[in-house]
């Protein structure tokens, strides 16, 4: 026994349990130096280009096209030709076949696409691998299933495709947002011109290889890259029948103004400031996991992020203590490391916005907490942050930060929770944590949000419709509802 004690004395005692690096293989992706625009099934050499970078290192990844009005026009023309010369008239089960193929190829190439998504956007590989890719493939599978059953989606009506859909997506879930847009449009018989976000075009460009592999007829899907100017061209193009936009409320409003008085159809999936409501009877450890998942998942670059935590006063102290302890265990760093929980902020511009809003929170009088955390020297990073002592009027409680920043408020009664949760111009999502089923149902009735999660958060399924109220937009994506915006009903 004495010997054993001596041995233990001599053994080196680690100060903390460090994780060994577990990098995913970057060479799973073969990047090209330069990408064209994908128009009519071919790569078109762009007139102007810009560079997309890896936000975790600021290293350039590739040159991509900044689409000009002429190039957007070519893409819309190709989509129109494809619509009239085949896609809208082939049998629905044929259309389903292509969607199934796309889904299967995405599954086969999932590892490659996950790396690509993390490289170009900064999100942890664990999320790209376990969330973005499986869900993107699932969306194509799901809408493949609807393609030849549209009359069951709209009983006693005759659904007809609209024509050419112009689709504009943000940078937080590049491939997944592409899937949310393209799958229902194609299933309903439309053709597409899609503009990915300026900072994350690469997965959409590699997706064009998937389309070729699936032998999708040329022109059914066209990809035009570039910044907001390319999006604006698409919005105002007279050859586009429908605009589907996911992005900020500000740009959404501008698009709505642009389309007022035209007969173009429009759906808007915009920002949010979701409340995650924790009652005193909730399973607290699970709720803390839900809070962390709600706001630090994907660096908080999530439209439905649970960015306002509403805690019942009686459990405020243990809840905050557990939350702070949990925050200290989050690993921030290399997006391609399989152990990383929080990756890089998507762009310098987004980092500046988060920094500015966090400074406003401190100035207005909230208490800031950030766990000790060593950030990489290059790239864009932000430490997971919690604000307590937040008043409802503070900017951090009102405005969408779109970063890893949580604002904590308290409540005493369910009515007060509802009032505070609904005190926002947005209405995209909410979370409720309680052991009482009746309370979940009562809260769900009163919360003005498109999606309400109970004892979980940030769960997605292609069969479940997603969308907002108020300034979070209108229209639903996912489920049978997601087909509605892509059909004319006779
Ligand atoms: P954003 O600035 O509105 O950009 C969204 C897309 O629109 C990008 O492709 C953007 O191009 C393009 N765009 C910019 N100006 C345009 C214009 N005048 N006309 C047409 N298109 C234009 O939003 P973001 O900052 O990329 O994304 C974050 C926002 O998206 C957040 O508010 C978030 O809540 C929201 N979001 C909502 C959902 C949802 O389902 N409700 C999902 C994800 C994200 P650039 O890339 O060049 O800017
Ligand atoms: Mg990038």
62 and 82 both lie in a single domain: yes
Q: Name the token pair of 456.
A: 């979980």
Compute the average pLDDT of residues 233-242: 98
- Is pLDDT of 426 > 90? yes
Shared domain check, 485 and 446:
no
* Closest ligand 1 atom number to CA of residue 250: 3
**E strands present in 47-131:** 49-54, 59-65
**Predicted confidence (pLDDT) at residue 178 exceeds the cutoff of 70:** yes
Question: For position 221, which CATH number holds?
Answer: 3.40.605.10
Place of tokens 């409003």: 253
Q: Look at 268 and 15; give whichever has higher pLDDT.
A: 268
Q: What is the pLDDT of residue 155?
A: 94
pLDDT value at residue 19:
86
- 353 alpha carbon, closest ligand: 1
Mean pLDDT computed over every residue of the chain: 96
Residues 109 and 239 in one domain: yes
Average pLDDT over residues 251-280: 97
DSSP result, 161-214: E-SEEEEE--SSSHHHHHHHHHHHHHHTT-EEEEE--TT--HHHHHHHHHHHHT
Q: Which ligand is nearest to the CA of 345?
A: 2
Residue 12 pLDDT greater than 80, yes or no: no
Residue 400 lies in a domain: yes
Check if the beta carbon of residue 274 is closer than 8 Å to that of residue 449: yes
pLDDT tier at 224 (50, 70, 90 boundaries)?
very high
Q: How far is the CA of 248 from the centre of ligand 1 (A)?
A: 5
Q: Which of 170, 194, 234, 264 to mutate to test the pocket of ligand 1 (most atoms within 8 A of CB)?
A: 170
Active site residues: 269, 303
Q: Which listed ligand is nearest to 118 at the C-alpha?
A: 2
| Angstrom distance (rounded) from CA 406 to CA 386 | 5
Q: What is the pLDDT of residues 338-356, one digit of tens each?
A: 999 999 999 999 999 999 9
Residue 8 lies in a domain: no
Do 129 and 196 share a structural domain? yes
Q: Are the beta carbons of 56 and 197 closer than 8 angstroms?
A: no
Q: Write out the residues surrounding ion ligand 2, Cβ under 5 A.
A: 52, 120, 199
Residue closest via CA to ligand 1's atom 47 equals 227
Atom of ligand 1 nearest to the CA of 234: 20
Structural domain that includes position 41: 26-270+472-489
Among the atoms of ligand 1, which is closest to the Cα of residue 227?
47
Q: Which helix (H) or strand (E) holds 235?
A: helix 228-236
* Residue nearest atom 5 in ligand 1 by C-alpha distance: 247
354, 170, 224, 486: CA torsion to nearest 10: -160
Mutate to test the pocket of ligand 1, among 198, 251, 430, 478 (most ligand atoms within 8 A of CB): 251
Same domain, 258 and 288: no
Regarding whether 218 and 183 lie in a shared domain, the answer is yes
Question: Structural domain tally of the chain?
Answer: 2
> What residue has token string 């937080």?
172
Is 70 exceeded by the pLDDT of residue 5? no
Residues in contact with ligand 1 (CB, 6 Å cut-off):
168-172, 195, 197-198, 227-228, 231-232, 235, 246-248, 251, 254-255, 269-272, 303, 400, 402, 428, 468, 473
Q: In the Cβ-directed half-sphere of 278, how many Cα atoms lie within 13 Å? A: 31
The answer on 411 and 281 residing in a single domain is yes
Side-by-side strand order, sheet with 385-388: 367-369, 385-388, 405-411, 308-312, 275-278, 429-433, 451-454
Give mean pLDDT, residues 210-228. 98
SS3 454: strand
**What letter would DSSP give residue 305?**
-
Cα–Cα distance measured from residue 199 to residue 319, given in angstroms and rounded to the nearest whole number: 37
pLDDT tens profile 398-407: 999 999 999 9
Query: Does residue 16 form part of some domain?
Result: no
Residue 5 belongs to a domain: no
Of the candidates 439, 398, 433, 436, which has an alpha carbon nearest to the alpha carbon of residue 315? 433
User: pLDDT at position 88, please?
Assistant: 87
Mean pLDDT in residue range 251-274: 97
Tokens of 340: 């990383």
Q: What separation in Å is there between the alpha carbon of 459 and the centre of ligand 2?
A: 26
Q: What is the CATH number of the domain that holds 366?
A: 3.40.309.10
Q: How confident is the model at residue 16 (pLDDT cuts 50, 70, 90)?
A: low
Supply the DSSP string of 430-478, one letter for each residue. EEEE-S-HHHHHHHHHH---SEEEES--S---TTS-B--SGGGEE--BS
Does residue 448 lie in a domain region? yes
377 and 264 part of one domain = no
Which ligand 1 atom is the nearest neighbour of the CA of 271? 34
- Does residue 235 contact residue 390 with C-beta atoms inside 8 Å? no
Write out the two tokens for 62.
Answer: 């590739």
Q: Is residue 20 domain-resident?
A: no
Say whether both 124 and 249 belong to one domain: yes
Whether 199 and 346 share a structural domain: no
Q: pTM score, two decimals?
A: 0.95
Give distance in angstroms: CA of 354 to centre of ligand 2.
18
Helix, strand, or coil here: 268? strand
Does residue 461 sit in helix, strand or coil? Answer: coil
d(CA 52, CA 122): 12
Measured in Å, residue 229 CA sits from the centre of ligand 1 at 12
Predicted confidence (pLDDT) per residue in 452-462, tens digit: 999 999 999 99
Q: How far is the CA of 443 from the centre of ligand 2 (A)?
A: 40
Distances in Å between the alpha carbon of 51 and those of 38, 228, 446?
17, 15, 46
The predicted pLDDT at position 11 comes to 52
Is 226 part of a structural domain of the chain? yes
Average pLDDT value for residue range 249-270: 97
Residue 7 included in any domain: no
**Average of per-residue pLDDT across 274-291:** 98
Convert 404-436 to b/e letters by CB count within 10 Å (16 or more is b). bbbbbbbbeebeebbebbbebebbbbbbbbbee
Task: Kindly give the number of the ligand 1 atom that is closest to the alpha carbon of 255.
Answer: 19
| 282/247 same-domain check | no
- For the segment 266-275, the average pLDDT, to the nearest whole number, is 97
Q: Percent of the chain, pLDDT > 90?
A: 95
Task: Write out the E strands in 302-384.
Answer: 308-312, 367-369
Who has greater pLDDT, 18 or 60? 60
Q: Where are the strands (E) in 20-149, listed by range?
A: 37-39, 42-44, 49-54, 59-65
In the predicted structure, residue 10 carries a pLDDT above the cut 90: no
Statement to judge: residues 440 and 477 lie in one domain: no
């Amino acid at each position: 026994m004495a010997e054993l004690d001596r041995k233990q004395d001599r053994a080196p005692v680690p100060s903390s349990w460090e994780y060994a690096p577990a990098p995913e293989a970057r060479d799973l992706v073969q990047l090209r130096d330069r990408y064209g625009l994908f128009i009519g099934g071919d790569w078109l050499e762009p007139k102007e280009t810009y560079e997309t970078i890896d936000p975790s290192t600021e290293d350039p990844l590739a040159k991509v096209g900044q689409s000009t009005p002429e190039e957007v026009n070519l893409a819309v023309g190709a989509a129109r030709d494809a619509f009239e010369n085949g896609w809208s008239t082939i049998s629905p089960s044929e259309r389903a076949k292509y969607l199934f193929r796309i889904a299967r190829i995405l599954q086969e190439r999932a590892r490659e696409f996950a790396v690509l998504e993390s490289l170009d956007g900064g999100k942890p590989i664990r999320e790209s691998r376990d969330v973005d890719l499986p869900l993107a493939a699932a969306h194509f599978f799901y809408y493949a299933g609807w393609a030849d059953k549209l009359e069951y989606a709209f009983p006693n009506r005759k659904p007809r495709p609209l024509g050419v859909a112009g689709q504009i997506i943000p940078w937080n879930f590049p491939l997944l947002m592409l899937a949310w847009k393209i799958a229902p449009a194609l299933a309903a018989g439309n053709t597409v011109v899609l503009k990915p976000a300026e900072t994350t075009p690469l997965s959409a460009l590699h997706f064009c290889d998937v389309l070729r592999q699936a032998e999708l007829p040329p022109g059914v899907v066209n990809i035009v890259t570039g910044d907001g100017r390319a999006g604006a061209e698409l919005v105002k193009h007279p050859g586009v029948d429908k605009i589907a936009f996911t992005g900020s409320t500000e740009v959404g409003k501008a698009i709505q103004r642009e389309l007022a008085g035209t007969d173009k159809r429009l759906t808007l999936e915009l920002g949010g400031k979701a409340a995650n409501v924790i009652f005193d009877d909730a399973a607290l450890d699970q709720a803390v996991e839900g809070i962390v998942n709600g706001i630090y998942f994907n660096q908080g670059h999530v439209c439905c992020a649970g960015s306002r935590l509403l805690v019942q006063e009686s459990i405020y102290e243990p809840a905050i203590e557990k939350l702070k302890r949990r925050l200290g265990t989050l690993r921030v760093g290399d997006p391609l490391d399989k152990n990383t929980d929080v990756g890089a902020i998507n762009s310098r511009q987004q980092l500046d916005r988060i920094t500015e809003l966090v400074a406003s929170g401190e100035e207005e009088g909230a208490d800031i907490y950030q766990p000790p955390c060593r950030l990489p020297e290059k790239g864009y990073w932000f430490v997971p942050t919690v604000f307590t002592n937040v008043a409802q009027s503070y900017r951090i409680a009102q405005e969408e930060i779109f970063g890893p920043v949580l604002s904590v408020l308290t409540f005493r009664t369910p009515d007060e929770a509802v009032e505070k949760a609904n005190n926002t111009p947005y209405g995209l999502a909410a979370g409720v944590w309680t052991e009482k089923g009746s309370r979940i149902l009562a809260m769900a009735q009163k919360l003005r949000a498109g999606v309400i999660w109970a004892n979980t958060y940030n769960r997605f399924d292609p069969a479940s419709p997603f969308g907002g109220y108020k300034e979070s937009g209108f229209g639903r994506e996912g489920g049978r509802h997601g087909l509605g915006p892509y059909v004319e009903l006779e």
